[in-house]
Amino acid sequence: MSVIHISRSGKTYRLHVSKTSTGKDKFFFSTKTEGVLAKKIPNGFEVYETVDSLVFLRRKTARIIQEDEFALIQSFLDRIRGKSIFKAEIKKNMIVIHQADESFGWAEMLPPWIDAAKAETLKAKFASYQPVMRFVLEQKEKRLFRPERFCFRGSVDDWIVLGLPAPLKKLSAEFLKHLGKDSFYDLM
């Protein structure tokens, strides 16, 4: 049995294996069925899917962000304007929040018998995301995070620090309420 992963967009990815020029195994995911399929995930690796539904194999690393910290952010996001608009992911020492591109003009062309829940599912399936906010772990022992938001001014296009490091619960309450609102762009 080969390794198969179905992404959030519904695509089926298969783990393939090939040889490098030095004769070592090289693993990669592909939607193609032809080629040499891997029977198992190599030791020390894991399947990873980005918020944009790209699937790849990556080396396992020690978790810096704790599960309860990620769950806290996720619970805030679940309460904001529908689950398809915002997604969070852990990247090394930070929790990055992504916002969906809300140009869902195609959703208005759906047949009238498609209910709102199905339309929301389709939006989540085909959405394209961009990072808008992140919480960077600054002090590992005290679990203090630095809040940042992405600056969308054409000449800057970089992260803006929003304040001093603080506990994640405090930062979540202070900053996540601005996601998807005009007040987000006033945060400095």
pLDDT band of 186, cuts 50, 70, 90: confident
DSSP 37: B
**16 close to 28: Cβ distance less than 8 angstroms:** yes
**Which contiguous run of DSSP H or E holds residue 97?**
strand 94-100
pLDDT greater at residue 79 or residue 73: 73
Residues in the chain: 188
In this predicted model, what pLDDT tens digit does every residue of 7-45 receive, in sequence order? 988 899 999 999 999 999 999 999 999 999 999 999 999
pLDDT given at position 150: 93
In this predicted model, what pLDDT tens digit does every residue of 75-109 receive, in sequence order? 998 887 655 688 899 999 999 999 987 665 555 66
Domain boundaries, the chain: 4-59, 67-186
- Exposed/middle/buried for 157, CB within 10 Å: 0-12, 13-18, 19+? exposed
Query: What are the structure tokens assigned to 87, written together?
Result: 């997604």
3-state secondary structure 128-175: CEEEEEEEEEEECCCCEEEEEEECCCCCCCCEEECCCCEEHHHHHHHH
